[in-house]
């Protein structure tokens, strides 16, 4: 099992950062390189507590599906998505939001485990950790770019 932690400061209000982070459309924009698409459950707009989404995308040359449920939800400070079905043995992503000065500190904590026992442990360290870290960083940079400009209005109605 691995735990990845990332923090990103965004010069925008906490509720805007929270809502952009749960936007299906923003997620698809941030994962254009893997061609991720929401194909079942909530497929556009904002996902909320108890709702599910199934993603399909290309990773490491494979077309993969991943279904998650929002298993924890406290607006605008925290939400958690947990894998219901997918290639991982386990996958839980905590998204936390803290007001800080003139903006919001966004913290991601991703806990995951690959299948296949000792072989999975090696894959986690050699491939998955870096891949997932780059996906989180890329996603947060897109959220930052949208939140700090007028682009947020394309995704949210505050």
What's the pTM value of the predicted model, to 2 decimals?
A: 0.92
**Residue range(s) defining the domain that contains residue 90:** 2-152
CA angle 131, 90, 88 (to 5 degrees): 55
Cβ(14)–Cβ(22) below 8 Å: no
Examine residue 158 and state whether it is found in any structural domain, yes or no. Answer: no
The answer to whether position 124 is within a domain reads: yes
Domain CATH code at residue 93 = 3.30.530.20
- The alpha helices in 22-158, defined as continuous H runs, are 24-30, 117-123, 129-147
Q: Is residue 136 part of a domain?
A: yes
Specify the number of domains making up the chain.
1
Q: Is residue 130 part of a domain?
A: yes
Whether the predicted pLDDT of 121 surpasses 90: no
Confidence of residue 122 (pLDDT cuts 50, 70, 90): confident
Render pLDDT for 128-149 as a digit per residue (tens, 0 to 9): 899 899 999 999 999 999 999 9
Q: How confident is the model at residue 158 (pLDDT cuts 50, 70, 90)?
A: low
The reply to whether 66 falls in a domain is: yes
């Amino acid at each position: 099992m691995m735990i990845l932690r990332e923090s990103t400061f965004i010069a925008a209000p906490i509720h805007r950062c929270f809502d952009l982070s749960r936007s299906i459309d923003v997620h698809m924009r941030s994962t254009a390189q893997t061609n991720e698409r929401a194909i079942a459950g909530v497929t556009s707009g904002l996902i909320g507590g108890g709702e599910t989404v199934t993603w399909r995308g290309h990773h490491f040359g494979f077309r993969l599906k991943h279904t998650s449920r929002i298993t924890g939800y406290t607006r605008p400070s925290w939400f958690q998505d947990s894998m219901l079905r997918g290639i991982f043995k386990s996958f839980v992503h905590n998204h936390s939001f803290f007001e800080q000065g003139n903006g919001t500190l966004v913290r991601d904590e991703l806990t995951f485990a690959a299948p296949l026992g000792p072989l999975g442990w090696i894959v986690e360290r050699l491939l998955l950790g870096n891949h997932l870290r780059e996906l989180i960083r890329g996603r947060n940079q897109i959220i930052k770019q949208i939140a700090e400009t007028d682009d947020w209005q394309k995704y949210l109605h505050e």
